[in-house]
Structures are given as C-alpha cells and as structure tokens.
Structure 1
Amino acid sequence: MTANEAEQDTRARRSAAARGAARTLHRSPLHIPLTERLSALAAAAPEVVGADEATDIYGDGVVATLEEEVARLLGKEAAVFFPTGTMAQQVALRCWAGRTGNATVALHPKAHPELHEGDAFTAVSGLRTVHPTDEPRLPMAGEVREFPEPFGALMLELPLRDAGFVLPDWEELEAVVEAARERDAVVHIDGARLWECTPHFGRPLREIAGLADTVYVSFYKSLEGLSGAALAGPRTLVEEARMWRHRYGGQLFQQFPAAVSALLGLKHVLPRLPAYVAHARVVAEALREGFAAAGLPWSRVHPGRPHTHQFQVWLPYASEVLDEASLGQAEETKTFLFGRWFADGPPGLSATEVTVTEEGLDWTADDVKEAVAEFVRRLPR
C-alpha cells in the first residue's frame, strides 16, 4: 500500500468512526451524510427566509440579507459575501494597499495566509508580508511600534489557530491596535473564528470588531455553515471589494444554500458558543488530570485554560501511533475522543486539535478522564 493509499484508508476509517460514534466532543458536519444535511437545511430554511422568497441572483436576496446581518452584528457600515475567506482577505488587503500606498502587510508567520493559502498574497495579489514576531502569540504593541520598516496594514488573526487558538488580553489588543495607528497603518482582523472570542475578551462582537478598519468572518468554521465568508468595514471599501470579488471570480450566479446555512448558524449556533467555550475549559482540565493519572511521561494541553472552544493537545508519540490509538478507541468503544494527529516540533512529538460543541456539553470531567484512560491504555509504554 502506498503512502497515499494508506492516508486515504485512515481518512475513511476516521470518517466511519466519527459517524458511528455514540459519544464525541464535537460532531463535525463533514461526517453527516450529504442527503441528511440537505434535508435538514431545507427543513430549517423557513426559520430565516420567507416561504415564497426567490433564490438569489449574483448576490441579491438572501445573500444581501446575510450581508446586512453581519454588518449589524459587527457594527460596521456594510458587509459583502465572499465564497472563500482566502479571497475575502486578499481583496481586503489589496484594497487597503491601494489606499495606503503600501502593499506590505504585517502579520504572524503562523497566520492562515502564510501557512495554508499557497503564497496567494504574493502570487495573486502582489502583497508582501513581514512578521513583527515569531513567538507563538499575537504581536505585542512594542513589537509593532518598533518594527524597522513601514507596512500599510496590520493583520491580526483572532484567535491565532496554528499557535493553539490563542488570543491576547483585551488591554494587549487595544495597545497593539494603537501602535499600528501610530504608524499610520490600517488594522484588519482575520476573524474566521471571531464569533467565539467574546467570552475571553469579555466584550461584545461590535466592540471587538470596532478596533479594526475591516473584519473578515467565516460561516463554516464555527457556525457550521456550508461555506462562505464576509468582509465588513467602511461602505466605500466594501463597494470596492465587490468589484474585486468579481475580478477574482467570486461573483457566483447563486449562493443561497451557503447563505441560508450561514443565517441558521447565526441564529442557532452563535448564541451557544459561550457555553462551548466554558465547557472546553472543563474538558481541558479533565484531559490534563487524566493524562497525569494515566502516568504519561509528558503531555500538554495548550492553552492550559482555553481561550475559545478549541485548543491543542500534545503528546510524545509519533502521529501514526496516536492516530491508531484514537481510531481503535472510536471503533471499539464508540467514543470518539481525538481526531487526526499531526507531527509537530521535534521527531516523536505530535499535536491534535480538540473542539467542544453541543455533543461535548454532555461530558462530565469524569467522562473525559475515563476516555483518556482508555486512550492511553492503547499506547505503547
């Protein structure tokens, strides 16, 4: 079996184990059969659209309704729907480059455009990136203020996913924004997961988004929508972004399934996110205690007190060993504790991401510890 075939086999096993699990911390929409998801979307659609409402054409109708709701939630003048966040952020920062006269974007080296977009900022949009810090956190005000070369925009990913879904303190965030303003730079928030940041900051979405000139949000990462994103900001920039969306090939003929699923996410999932964040902290503490009780030589839950409803777990084993233990536990006990593991750092060290959503609310700390004990039992000692 080739490496590619082995990976496909593992992926198929993981998907089947997730679908068949009786207990899981998070049931991903990716593991719901296609016809079931379509039926659920059709059944719920009347909650957010009129029974006789026409489908959208090139961004009107339900897409326009979604844009207005996002602008309202974020306290911005306007918002525009995009098929992808990759496109939304390229357009936003390209527009700002034209207005500031500086195509350099300051961001973290672990930010999504640097790791997961094939150098699109540079290859497609003619933008250049610089890094005020490479520490596993957002930049500090001093690092932004003292950076040795000019930049037109500061991009802040909230939370910084690949560093562990981490967020700064509110006062730190205010200070770093002020430091950017002192340099005459605009501030753009990569808010793919901004929706779940309110418990950590203790501030409403409008106040968080109000720090930035523009904000991008995703509809499928936390809100469980089908796809899509929005860019919110000043009306003049949003209208310019609409033109660039068309030039980038994002002016789709119809997008009503994605728009309806996004509106349903805003209605049903958004109000639940604070409960997910609170319970993620219970789960994280129970995982830490469970690993200690199981006698593992080393483990890490990061952050120790999660900033959102997602966090990382690190263990000193090869990723394939941890994948097999996770899959074996899910297949044999119907408890899906951990998903995919990734080699990260020195050889023999791996990490996974833990997400706590509706299904995870039923887990007590003791439930988590019991699942950890069963998982660790499957590891070589």
Structure 2
Amino acid sequence: MSDDLKLRRLNAMRSSDRILSGVRPKTMRERLADLETAADLDGWPDFYGGGPVEALEERVAGLLGTEAAVLFPTGTMAQQVALRYGADRTGIPAAALHPLGHQEMHERHAYAELSGLRGITSTDRPRNPTAAEIAALGEPVSTVVVELPLRDAGFVLPSWEELVAVCGAARAIGARVHFDGARIWESTPHLGRALREVVALADSVYVSFYKSLGGISGAVLAGTADLANYARPWRHRFGGTIYQQFPAALSALAGLDRELPRLREYVGHARTIADALASVPGARVFPHPPHTHQFRLWLPYPAAVLGEAVLRVAERERVWFAGGWVDADVPGYAMTEVTVAEPALEWTAADVAAAAALVRKEIG
C-alpha cells in the first residue's frame, strides 16, 4: 500500500461515525493522552527494566500462570529466543513449524538466518498439526510450535481435545511445546478453558500487546524461571534490552485493563457479524462461525475495486466497512480479515447488510 493510500485510509476510518472492522486510528497526541489515564506519570520510568516494565512482566506472569515473563520489543525477537532455548536445552537444532505460521510467513525466517536452526514442517494442512502428524514427523525436533489461533489459515483453532493431544504427542517425542500466542487472549472462548489452563499445556508462550489489546508495541515471552534467565541475556544480544520502554509497558497495562475483559464479548458478537456477512450476495466467510473475533471474508470483486469503493463510502457516508483487501486464490474474489472490536458492538445484522449494500452500489 502506498503512503498516500495508507494516509487516505487512516483519515477515512478516523472520520467515520461507524466502523464495522477494526478500531478508529489514534493520533500520537491521543496515544500519549491514553498513557496519562493509564498510570501515575509522576513515578519513575524503567531503566533497562524495573518500574512499569517489571510491573507488566509480573502481571502477565500472573495472568498466564507462569513462573516468569520477559518483555521484548517485538514478538519476532521473543520467538527466536524461545526456539533457541529449546535447541540449546535439548541439543536438537530443529523445530516443528507450520508453513503458514508466523515464523515462516512474517519473521523472514529469523530462526534460521540468525540462529542457524532448521524448520521441520509439522503439517501442510490449513490448520494446526494433529497428534498423529507430530508423532509421524520422522526426525527429532527440540520444539513443536502451535499458533493459537493460526492467523494465516483464517484465525483457526483446534478443539481443546485436539490441543491436549498434540501437546502430549510433542512430549512423547521428547520435544518442548511453544505457543505462538500473539492472539491467545481471545482463544479461550472457543477452547472452553481459562487462560491459565490453556497456557499450562505449553512449556513457553509468547503474547502480544498490540494485536488485540491496543498497546503501542511489545510482547512477552513467558514460562519457567530458567527460560526467563536464558531469555534476558539473549534479548540483550539481539538488541532488545532497551533503555526505556515505559510507553509500551504502560499502554500494555492499559490494554490488560480495558480490552482484555471485553474480548469474550467481541468473540460472541463476531458470530453475529459473520452470519450477516455470509448473507451478502456472493460473500464467503471462514471460519463460520468464527473461532475468535477475527475471520476472513471474500467478496466477488477485484481487491483494488473493493478498496476504492470502501474508501469512497467512508468519505461520503462516514461508514467504514472493511479494508485491507487482497486478490484471493479464488478466481474473481478478493479477501480481507474482519476484526470485530468495540466499534462493531453496536452493529446489527441489518446494519451490516446496509453497509455491504452501499459498497456494492458504489461498485455498480
């Protein structure tokens, strides 16, 4: 996306009175104002840790039920350290990864380029691996990675029974289990278990603060005290021990206060929105019903045409439908990821149908 188009999209969303997918973008001044309401800013910041960073690490470890948690500036860095830890502790420089997983799709294969590790395909199916697939890997791996949910397969989750089985299969072959839990916060309704119970299945977990919680940036790698002791020097070596991270830490703490309690509500309403979108002529929704508050939507138009129509409707009607359209593998269709958050809670099925009709009419 060009800078001009990105700016137009941000302005269109910001000016809209109603937003179906996503949240209203905030300016830097608004983000700073959020920090003022999140904490007492007269306290001391962090200095290579401590202060709000330590408070965030302790709070997340408590939420997840782990012995410790370590703040990283990015999830990419946190996941590299998780895989290095597994390789160093087991002596096996290979990890079982999904080809649609974050490490393969969005981290430029950092685990291989920077740490010399090998990725072994856990499954080629558009879902997380099964216990049988892990048992049949055919070569040893130090870590089995499970992404909850698997974003690039459509934000899909296994059942609780399937997740328990795959974790058991990983341990049966002598491997650790690492959850790529960037969006694990909103996975608990589908799994039917509390967050701590889900996390207890894994040896380590990475969580994000900006994907669902509305934070500025940052991630945590959580697990045992031994993992934390290993992670801190490796975070430094990778350049992630930053002098001060209090803006990211404070916004993450605010997200835990404001957004985390509402995610279950978003997941529930996503099913209403998905049903309404599935009724739009020519539309396809997956998964249906959604496993989290995010899912995929296909419409039978080129991506560029849909993107322009959505922008024009937003600029004229002040109603934001959904952006980020890409031409799909399905001939004649474009796809987007729908995120049901606070702005969408006021939308009824009739509202969704009306907004879709505006976009279709704009296309002509």
1:368 aligns with 2:362: no
Kindly indicate whether residue 133 of structure 2 is the aligned counterpart of residue 143 of structure 1.
yes
TM-score normalised to the size of structure 2?
0.97
Which residues in structure 2 correspond to 1:134-213 (within 5 Å)? 134-213=124-203
Cα deviations by residue, 1:237-267 (Å, 9 ceiling, x for unpaired): 1111001000100010000011011111111
Of 94, 98, 107, the residue aligned with 2:97 is: 107
- Of the three residues 286, 297, 312, the one matched with 1:328 is 312
TM-score (norm 1): 0.93
What's 1:94 paired with?
Answer: 84
Choose which of 341, 344, 360 in structure 1 pairs with 2:328.
344
> Aligned residue for 1:308?
292
Distance 1:359 1:300, change over 3 A: same
Partner of 2:35: 41
* Alignment partners' CA distance in 2, 1:353 and 1:27: 10
What is the CA–CA distance in structure 1 between the aligned matches of 2:136 and 2:38, rounded to whole Å?
51
SS at match of 1:352: strand
How far 1:52 moved relative to its partner? 4.3
Report which stretch shifted further, 338-347 or 257-266: 338-347
Contact 1:26 1:357 in 2 (8 A): yes
Identity %: 54
The DSSP-based 3-state class of the residue aligned with 1:179 is: helix
Paired residue type of 2:313 = Q
From 234, 239, 259, the equivalent of 1:269 is 259
- Give the conservation status (yes or no) of the 8 Å contact 2:39–2:250: yes
Which residue in 2 is equivalent to 1:9? 4
Alignment match, 2:241 = 251
CA contact (8 A) 1:165 1:308 kept: yes
Specify the SS of the correspondent of 2:178.
strand
Partners of 1:318 and 1:347 within 8 A in 2: no
Q: Is the 8 A contact 2:178 2:202 kept in 1?
A: yes
2:206 alignment counterpart: 216
| 8 Å CA contact retained: 1:26, 1:358 | no
**2:49 corresponds to which residue?**
59
Contact 1:189/1:216 (8 A) holds in 2: yes
Instruction: Tell me how far apart the structure 2 counterparts of residues 132 and 235 of structure 1 sit (CA, whole Å).
Output: 28
Q: SS at 1:53's partner residue?
A: coil
Q: Give secondary structure in 2 for the equivalent of 1:197.
A: helix
Q: Distance in 1 between matches of 2:138 and 2:37?
A: 56
What does the per-residue CA deviation read over 1:297-354, in whole Å, with 9 as the maximum and x for residues that have no partner? xx21110100111111012322111111211211111110111101231553321011
Q: Bigger CA drift: 211-220 or 368-377?
A: 368-377
Q: Distance between the aligned counterparts of 1:240 and 1:147, measured in 2?
A: 28
Distance 2:240 2:34 in 1: 27
CA deviation profile, 1:102-144 (whole Å, cap 9, x unmatched): 1111111111110111121111121111112111111111111
Distance 1:327 1:314 in 2: 17
Provide Cα deviations, 1:45-72, integer angstroms capped at 9, x if missing partner: 23xxxx6421110011110111011111
The 2-side partners of 1:239 and 1:256 are apart by 22
Give the counterpart letter for 2:32 in structure 1.
L
Task: Provide Cα deviations, 1:69-114, integer angstroms capped at 9, x if missing partner.
Answer: 1111111110100000000000111011000111111111111110
Aligned residue-pair number = 364
Task: Name the SS for the 2:205 alignment partner.
Answer: strand
Which amino acid in 1 is paired with 2:96?
A
Determine if contact 2:22/2:339 at 8 Å carries over to the other structure: no
Identify the residue that residue 337 of structure 2 maps to in structure 1: 353
Counterpart CA distance in 2 for 1:319 and 1:143 is: 36
